[in-house]
């Protein structure tokens, strides 16, 4: 595991997702992206078999960061303001990707679906037996969430990559928050926030009928 400023730390990632939640149930985009960036750093330490996953995630994070660095940055402060702004200005392809292939709404939706995987995966790690296989926890979470949106070839590649994951306790220890037990305790504290962020976004997207954006 790499040391230094760039080393992954689970605490930072969980703090970022916790910081997403505003007082008015708004979901802030910057800490959401910071959370994913932290996770990608960790993914990159697990081996090159995961590169195709991190590349796609990085592309999506970049698209949203570009909106946050554009003249319209204020509109992309929260998921709520992004949805409102893009819909009101016809910036979302609703049926087919054409004029706006990389809308904030469709891009965020991909990360939102991945957040469901993350939630189930971390919950699986948290409640798993000491020597359980991370690959099994990971593929169960994947099959129950993201896999439903991926074509066969990606499902196959993902499933193959999962095999290289270390056992649960090694995985937890690699997260740099102390012992496996300490990591489990931290997950227990943070998971409710991740669930909340997921639920609020899901509700917002459902309300606006955006859950199937192409």
> What number of other Cβ atoms are within 10 A of residue 144's Cβ?
14
Q: Is 25 in the site for ligand 1PZ (CB under 6 A)?
A: no
Footprint of ligand 1PZ on 147-176 (CB under 6 A): 154, 158, 165
Residues 16, 29, 34, 39: which binds ligand 1PZ (CB under 6 A)?
39
Residue 194 interacts with ligand 1PZ (CB under 6 A): yes or no:
no
Cβ closest to ligand 1PZ, residue 25 vs residue 150: 150
* Residue 30 in tokens: 């910057």
Of residues 72 and 174, the one with the C-beta less far from ligand 1PZ: 174
Site for ligand 1PZ in 61-100 (CB under 6 A): none
> Exposed/middle/buried for 151, CB within 10 Å: 0-12, 13-18, 19+?
exposed
Q: DSSP letters along 165-178, please? A: PPBHHHHHHTTSSS
Of positions 21, 138, 184, 194, contacts ligand 1PZ by CB under 6 A:
138
Tokens read off for 55: 């590349």
Contact call for residues 168 and 128 (beta carbons, < 8 A): yes
- Helix (H) or strand (E) segment spanning residue 92: none
> Which pair of structure tokens corresponds to residue 145?
């969430």
Question: Does 43 help bind ligand 1PZ (rule: CB under 6 A)?
Answer: yes
Q: What is the dihedral of CA 138, 141, 144, 149, to 10 degrees?
A: -70
User: 104-133 mask for ligand 1PZ (x: CB under 6 A)?
Assistant: ------x--xx--x----------------
Residues in contact with ligand 1PZ by CB under 6 A are 39, 42-43, 52-53, 56-57, 110, 113-114, 117, 138, 142, 146, 154, 158, 165
């Amino acid at each position: 595991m790499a040391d230094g400023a760039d080393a992954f730390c689970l605490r930072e990632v969980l703090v970022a997702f916790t910081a997403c939640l505003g007082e008015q149930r708004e979901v802030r985009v910057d800490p959401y992206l910071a959370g994913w960036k932290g996770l990608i750093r960790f993914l990159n330490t697990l081996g090159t078999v995961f590169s195709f996953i991190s590349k796609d995630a990085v592309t999506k994070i970049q698209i949203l960061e570009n909106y946050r660095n554009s003249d319209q940055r204020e509109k992309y402060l929260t998921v709520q303001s992004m949805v409102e702004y893009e819909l009101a200005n016809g910036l979302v392809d609703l049926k087919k990707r054409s004029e706006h292939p990389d809308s904030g709404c469709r891009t965020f939706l991909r990360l939102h679906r991945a957040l469901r995987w993350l939630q189930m995966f971390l919950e699986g790690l948290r409640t798993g037996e000491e020597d359980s296989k991370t690959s099994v926890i990971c593929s169960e979470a994947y099959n129950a969430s993201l896999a439903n949106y991926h074509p066969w070839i990606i499902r196959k590649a993902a499933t193959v990559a999962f095999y290289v994951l270390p056992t649960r306790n090694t995985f937890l220890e690699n997260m740099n928050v102390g012992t496996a037990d300490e990591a489990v305790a931290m997950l227990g504290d943070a998971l409710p926030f991740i669930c909340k962020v997921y639920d609020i976004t899901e509700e917002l997207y459902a309300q606006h009928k955006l859950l199937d954006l192409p």
